[in-house]
Structure 1
Amino acid sequence: MPSVTAIRIQTLLWAVLGVLFLLSAPILWAASPLVLVAVAALGAGLGLVVEWAIRSYRHRWRRSALVGGALACTLVAAPLYWLVLQPALHPLAVPRVTLGDGTRQVVFQGMVHVGSEQFYRSVVYDMIRARDAGYVLYFEGTLPGTPEATAWLNAAVDADGDLNAQYARVAQACGMQFQGDFLGFVQRQAAIDPAHIISADVSVTEMYDEWQRLVAARPELAQAMAADGANAGGLSISRLLDIVSGLGDRQRDFLATACRGAFTMLLGRAESQNDMNLVVLDFRNRKLADRIAADAGQDIYITYGSGHFPGLLEEMRKRNPSWQILSTTWSTAILPPDDAVGHLPAGADR
């Protein structure tokens, strides 16, 4: 290869490597300066080992160290950048579906347990408008059960104690909000107006009784659940959250950014096939469809997990084939953080 061509190619490769390093360095620095130094040092060491092993870059150890360090930073930062970009590239959209049977309407507002403050505020505003228009509000939230039933549910969903408290901790770790913090007014109003603001969910005891009925008919369900519990060893969610709570502010901010991307990706997937869905989804959908059918002639506004909608619509049509989708709108449940701080112009505070 002519020397001029070789120099041009080498210059281009060094420029590409430099750009990749400049892109990766900020995200590693955001995690911690020590992370950036450690990854760069590890990559430099690997580069030197490779140089020594193949001996093709003899007398060029500085170049090998630079190439190894830059490549290591790029490879470590690439998946983190991918996570950070997920909310923008593939936003988590939840539906607001209006159904009608010719005599009344049912609005289904899809929800997520953990999301952005803007999303929950818009849902609350929509609920207030629906209430003022005469709709009955149905909201999700399993009712308390016996200690035995509660212990069974916690084991089934790998929770340590109060599920709502765990969701709230996850939301805090991810820089988002827990839906219960915004829908609390509904529960308070339910005590004042129980005829129009209703906790339409089942109790934990009802779920447990349904599981016992299913296991009596299909004993293999209990064996499968026991096997899942045996394979779920390692760090629990609560232990991971304890670790997160011990991180510094810089590390928690970095983790929250990556966490929003992970939630966007995971919640955007279709519901996994799981035996617990027989109770967590199917049973609750049937009970909700029964309640809607019993509340004949009444317009209803429902806030339930988005994963419930396909099964709920199927159950509603079993009871009344006239139900049709009238309209569908979408909203983004996970957005950038809401705690941005700017600076007012000089003298604006006077």
Structure 2
Amino acid sequence: MTTETRPAIVPTVTLSNGPRTVVLQGMQHVGAERFYQAIIYDLEQALAEGYVLAYEGVADSDPEADAWFRRSLSHGKDLGDSYRQLGRACGLSYQIDFFGPVVADAKAHPERHVTMDVDTRAMKEEYDRLMRSDPKFAAAMRQRDADADKDQAADDDAPDLLTRFIERRNQGTDPRRDTLVGTLCRGLMTHVMRRSNAGGGELDPVVLDFRNRNLARRLLTDPRAKIYVTYGAAHLPGVMALMKDEPGWKVESIKWMRTIAAPEHLEGTL
């Protein structure tokens, strides 16, 4: 019921200061096939209209910072594989699997594509700064580390309950059970994604706020006239607010897209 009555949705925000236009497209790691098909269509249309496509993606830097990032942000897991398993269990898709046309264009026209994000060293330095200067953040991180040591911590994008759904889905091939598990999993994913997109996590000062400031600064100083950004939906409110604070920038439009739905199955007669 949650999937239908309170669906997970992400915004597409268009901002402009007159000479320049920036589109912020909220993204989600796992979602409905129709959602990703619509995203790819919009990206291809944006390229045709002369936009540069900008993406998130924390870059590697040095072994120490890279190891800290994997330990702190992904609990040492291969998140790509986890997202694909979630997609299969829930009857959904993993976003990267749909980006083939965009990847091909990036290889042919690299000047039309750019990653706008920080690297692991910058994130670790911000984390260390907050640990020294923000007692509330430091206390939350110490508690988080203690919970992780007790094996109680959970990945915000793949909590233990979803992991159990994956395990049950992989235990057999009963179509009725697969349908039930998929329905329950989509409902739980809807709840998780709505909560995740709202922010409020302990690491938000680093994962969201710090990266939001970097993204907004780069968008505001980039000389290109039209930039189309795909970023995790939780980043959009903060980036939009930072850009609106700059003289001349205003929101031109906002639209919403549904990210989770049951796989479409149509039957007809001839």
TM-score in same-fold range (> 0.5): yes
Q: Which structure exhibits the higher relative contact order, with contacts defined as CA atoms closer than 8 Å and separated by 6 or more residues?
A: 2
Alignment of 1:294-305 (within 5 A): 294-305=221-232
Out of 162-171 and 215-224, give the one that drifted further: 215-224
Q: Distance in 1 between matches of 2:41 and 2:106?
A: 17
Q: State the AA in 2 paired with 1:153.
A: F
Matches within 5 A, 1:168-247: 168-218=84-134, 221-232=137-148, 233-234=151-152, 240=163, 243-244=167-168, 246-247=170-171
Aligned to 2:17: 101
Structure whose CA Rg is larger: 1
Give the Å deviation of 1:188.
Answer: 4.3
Aligned residues: CA RMSD: 2.6
Of 185, 192, 196, which aligns to 1:259?
185
What TM-score, normalized by structure 2, do the two folds share?
0.84
Instruction: Give the residue type in structure 1 aligned to 2:205.
Output: L
Between the two proteins, the alignment pairs up a number of residues equal to: 259
Task: Tell me which amino acid in the other structure corresponds to 1:231.
Answer: D
1:91/1:219 Cα in 2 relative to 1: closer, same or farther (>3 Å)?
Answer: closer
Match of 2:212 among 281, 285, 290: 285
Note if contact 1:145-1:205 (Cα within 8 Å) is conserved in structure 2: yes
Tell me which amino acid in the other structure corresponds to 1:173: A
Aligned partner of residue 99 in structure 2, secondary structure: helix
> Cα offset for 1:262?
1.1
Unaligned runs of 5+ in 1: 1-84, 346-350
Cα deviation, residue 290, structure 1: 1.6
- SS state of the match for residue 249, structure 1? coil
241-250 or 253-262: which moved more? 241-250
Report the Cα distance in structure 1 between the residues aligned to 2:217 and 2:251, rounded to whole angstroms.
19
Write the mapping of 1:1-350 to structure 2, written as runs, cut at 5 A: 85-157=1-73, 159-218=75-134, 221-232=137-148, 233-234=151-152, 240=163, 243-244=167-168, 246-250=170-174, 251-269=177-195, 271-318=198-245, 320-338=246-264, 340=265, 342=267
CA offsets per residue over residues 270-313 of structure 1, 9 Å max, x none? 63423311111111111111211221241111111111111101
Tell me by how many angstroms 1:317 deviates.
3.1
Distance 1:213 1:262, change over 3 A: same
For residues 126-147 of structure 1, give each alpha carbon's deviation from its aligned partner in whole angstroms, at most 9, with x where no partner exists: 0001111001111222223434
Structure with greater helix percent: 1
Q: Deviations over 1:240-271 (max 9, x none)?
A: 36734542123343222111111112222363
Q: Is the 8 A contact 2:21 2:227 kept in 1?
A: yes
- Contact (CA 8 Å) 1:186, 1:197: kept in 2 or not? no
CA distance in 2, matches of 1:110, 1:121: 14
CA distance in 1, matches of 2:61, 2:87: 25
Decide whether aligned partners of structure 1 residues 281 and 328 sit closer, same or farther in structure 2, where only a CA change above 3 A counts.
Answer: same
The answer on whether the counterparts of 2:199 and 2:234 sit within 8 Å (CA) in structure 1 is no
Q: Which sections of structure 2, spanning at least 5 residues, go unmatched?
A: none
How far apart are residue 104 of structure 1 and its match? 1.7
Aligned amino acid, residue 78 of structure 2: D
Q: CA deviation at 1:165?
A: 2.5
Q: 3-state DSSP class of the match of 1:102? A: coil
* Cα distance in 2 between the residues matched to 1:217 and 1:166: 34
Percent identical among aligned pairs is: 36
